[in-house]
Chain A
Amino acid sequence: MTALVELEGVVKRFGDFTAVERMDLTIEQGEFIAIMGPSGCGKTTTLRMLAGLEQPTSGTIRIGGEMMNDVPPHKRDTPLVWQSLALFPFLNARENVEFGLKMRGFDAATRKRKALDWLERLDIGEFAERNVDTLSGGQRQRVALARSLVTEPQLLLLDEPLSALDAHLVIRMQSVLTRLQRELGITFVYVTHSQSEAFAMADRVVIMSKGNIAQIGKPRDIYRTPANRFVAEFVGRNNILSGTVTTADAAAVQIETPVGSFTVTPEGPPPAIGQTASFVIAADLVNITETAQNTGNSLSCTLISEEFIGSMVTLFLEAADGTEFKVQVQERALGSLDLKSGNTLHLSWSADNAHLLIGETE
Chain B
Amino acid sequence: MPRPNTYALTWRLPIIVWQLLFFIGPLLFMIAMSFFLVKNYRMIEAFEMKNWVKMFGRNYFWDSYWLTLWLATLSTIVTTLVAFPASFALAFRTSETTRRWAIFLLIIPFFTSYLVRTFSWYTILAESGVINAMLGTIGIDPITMLNTKFGTIVGYMTLTLPLVVVLQTFALANIDRNLVQAARNLGCPPWRTILTVIVPLAKTGLIVAALFCFILSFGDFVAPYYLGGSKPPTLPILIIDTTKSGQQWPRAAVVAVVMMVTLITIAFTAITLAYRKRASA
Contacts and interface: CB of A to CB of B under 8 A. Distances in A.
Given A74-B189, A88-B197, A91-B278, A82 B182 contact: yes
Interface string B191-219: 01000110011010000000000000000
B19 to A, nearest CB: 34
A80 B182 contact: yes
Given A78-B185, A100-B187, A103-B186, A84 B178 contact: yes
Q: How large is the interface on A (under 10, 10 to 19, 20 to 34, 35 or more residues)?
A: 20 to 34
A165 B242 CA distance: 67
Interface in A91-143: 91-92, 99-100, 103-104, 131, 133
A51 B86 CA distance: 29
B174 interface: no
A88 B179 contact: yes
B186 A90 contact: no
B184 A90 contact: no
Contacts of A151: 186-187
B184 to A, nearest CB: 4
A14 to B, nearest CB: 14
Interface in A195-221: none
B188 A86 contact: no
A53 B186 contact: no
B277 interface: yes
B48 interface: no
A73 interface: yes
B184 A74 contact: yes
A86 B185 CA distance: 11
Given A90-B203, A91-B278, A131-B277, A79 B185 contact: yes
A99 B183 contact: yes
Contacts of A43: none
B269 interface: no
B123 interface: no
A73 B197 contact: no
Contacts of A103: 186-188, 192
Nearest to B178: A86
A51 B178 CA distance: 13
B94 interface: no
A90 B279 contact: yes
Given A88-B179, A90-B203, A79 B278 contact: no
B243 interface: no
A86 B187 contact: no
B176 interface: yes
A106 to B, nearest CB: 11
Given A80-B182, A82-B182, A103-B186, A90 B176 contact: no
B272 interface: no
B192 to A, nearest CB: 8
Interface of B: 176, 178-179, 181-190, 192, 196-197, 200-201, 203, 277-279
Given A53-B184, A75-B187, A131-B277, 15 more contacts: A53-B185, A72-B184, A74-B185, A74-B187, A74-B190, A77-B187, A79-B186, A80-B182, A82-B178, A84-B178, A86-B181, A88-B200, A99-B196, A103-B188, A103-B192
